Structure 1
Amino acid sequence: MQFSIDKNLTFEQAVNIMFEKLGDWKIMALASCVDNYPMVRNVSCLFYDNKVYFKTDKNFRKTQQLFQNPRVALCWSGVQIEGICENKGLVVDEPDRKFETLYKKYLWGSYNKYSHEDSEIIIEVNPKFVEIWDTSSDNYAYQIFIDFESKEIKVKQYDQQ
């Protein structure tokens, strides 16, 4: 049996694989840490413009932690994204309202229930390093490592033939 995933992916191909796996939205685990105190919680994420976006109340404990340390990790089903987050301001103040439009489309229940115009902000996560675990069509486990800063890719077969 041969390992069926292309080990010579380009940076663009690897990024496309990542965003294809994630789709338009996912509930992801968000990890952050301040003063050696780690926290993890779920956030409703949208994916566009090669970035990850979620909204949160600017007064929440997790948000205050993000303001102190913008380094975060997000994880969903074998896709781990390490990155830097940035407060993009109130959801209602976004010039093109792209986030709001997509959030309404994909996460209506959350949008309808938890939208507070005076305190809901958009957090943008710029990926720096991504690790994807998956299985090839011939059932071999592998990892794809994507370094967004150097634009380097590594495909590593986990199973030995």
Structure 2
Amino acid sequence: MARLIYSATASLDGFIAGPGGDMSWLTEHIGGENPTADRVLARTGAILVGRVTFGGDDPNAGTDAEGAFGGQYDGPVVVLTHRPPEEPPAGVEFATDLPTAVERAKALAGDRDVNVLGADVAAHCLDAGLLDEVLMFFAPVLLGDGTPIFRRPGGTRVRLKRLPGETEHWYRVVR
């Protein structure tokens, strides 16, 4: 069964996007060899994303690297939103509630994983007990403000356990 994995690159002060959703800071920190990112991409059978992230800034816009995983991902996408468009783009499905979005993304992923993109959707999955793993990459930059890795005002403590044999910041959510 597909696992839900939240993966993102963050600044050292814990932001995955700068003020106003700015992602331009990421451009200088992507590229090169990254075996962990390659493994995640190979395991990803579907992407679950929120509407803000789906329609947001792409540091690679207008290049061959535009899109998820630096343009390397080519597969189904499920967008969680309260306002789905009347004409969805090809290969993209929209869901208006979390259980439906997760169920559909898992079905599309088959025996591979669902990669969760976007802090709000990841927090909703975590709060609903649906998130299985968290993988963070860190870029050597301090943004000072923006979208935090997780935004859960009043949220409860969540225990994570490092996955054996994996990179330092890849964790299983302990239930």
For this structure pair, what is the TM-score category when the shorter chain's length is used for normalisation?
A: under 0.3
- In terms of Rg, which structure is larger? 1
Higher relative contact order, chain-length normalized (CA < 8 Å, sep 6+): 2
TM-score (norm 2): 0.24
Larger relative strand fraction: 1
TM-score (norm 1): 0.25
